[in-house]
Amino acid sequence: MLNKIKDLIFDPYPLRTLAKQIVKKFGAYEDRLKLGAVDRPEYGYCVYNAAALAKKLGYKRISVLEFGVAKGNGLLNLEYHAEEAYKIFGVEIDIYGFDTGEGLPEPVDYRDLPYHWKKGFYKMDVPGLQAKLKKAKLILGDIKDTSKEFFEKYNPAPIAAVSYDFDFYSSTVVALKMLEADEKYYLPRFFCYFDDVLGTEIELYNDFIGERLAICEFNQSHENIKLGIPYHFLENKVIQPWFNKIWIGHFFKHSRYNDFVSTEGQ
């Protein structure tokens, strides 16, 4: 009871919160997603908009990746959003989850925040998760190895959305390097979610450590591939914390980058 009172006191939009609870039970998926009345709305946002872009470009099938699966709740959530997006756009969505299966490895150096992360965090129950998954594929092993064989082994449909949740700078660097693959493996623009870029007074994230450093270095070293912050969120009347964890990847030299996807008669 005390926690509910505290939540009410600190909630700047109590009526909106109440509306979300109602819509979450009775609303259509698109309405729930727009209001954030779904589990992991950041995943829903990326999957939904990735499918919408794919539809406009004429793609029948796309891929969604999650780097850092841990217990698997995120992967299961991606399956849910992929199913809902398919009902709306008719675009098939394949899902791949990358993880060691053994939890976090040993931090390489200060850039991996060893003052916050420890080896063994987030160990996976592999058989238990495999039994729950409907369509997502688990790719287990060190990302340094699995990233090299992924495209040849799986020949994935164009990647349209990616969740980066490896926690470490070092692992994220390797995952971002996969963006250098042939353009056929990506949409010209894709939706990204970076989980560990805000944090608290413990992590004290900045552009010189963790995922933020990996993003900065990637942008500095790639002229024709950039990860950028989407400013359209600033138009929203209510700003959600996860808005600040979304990046959009742009392949400026992609052969379909300039294909028209907007509305006619503007």
The closest alpha carbon to 196, from 123, 86, 80, 117, belongs to 117
Q: What is the DSSP letter of 67?
A: E
The closest alpha carbon to 117, from 188, 75, 61, 170, belongs to 170
The per-residue pLDDT of the chain, averaged, comes to 93
Q: Which residues of 130-155 are buried (b: 16+ CB within 10 A; e: fewer)?
A: eeeeeebebbeeebeebbeebeeeee
Residue 164 to residue 183: CA distance in whole angstroms: 20
Least confidently predicted of 21-35, 51-65, 196-210, 244-258: 21-35
- Domain boundaries of the chain, sorted by first residue: 1-38, 39-251
Q: Which residues of 63-101 are buried (b: 16+ CB within 10 A; e: fewer)?
A: bbbbbbbbebebbbbbbbbbebbeeebebbbbbbbbbbe
Q: Which residues of 182-191 are buried (b: 16+ CB within 10 A; e: fewer)?
A: eeebbbbbbb
CATH code of 39-251, in short, is: 3.40.50.150
The per-residue pLDDT for range 201-244, each reduced to its tens digit, is 999 999 999 999 999 999 999 999 999 999 999 998 888 899 99
Using pLDDT thresholds of 50, 70 and 90, give the confidence band for residue 13.
low
The per-residue pLDDT for range 149-175, each reduced to its tens digit, is 999 999 999 999 999 999 999 999 999
Using pLDDT thresholds of 50, 70 and 90, give the confidence band for residue 26.
low
Residue 50 to residue 53: CA distance in whole angstroms: 5
pLDDT, position 239: 83
**Global confidence as pTM:** 0.92
- In degrees, rounded to 5, the angle at the alpha carbon of residue 21 between the alpha carbons of residues 196 and 19 is 105
pLDDT, position 33: 93
At position 27, the amino acid (one-letter code) is G
Whether 109 and 208 have beta carbons less than 8 Å apart is answered as no
Please, which residues bridge with residue 164 across strands? 67, 194
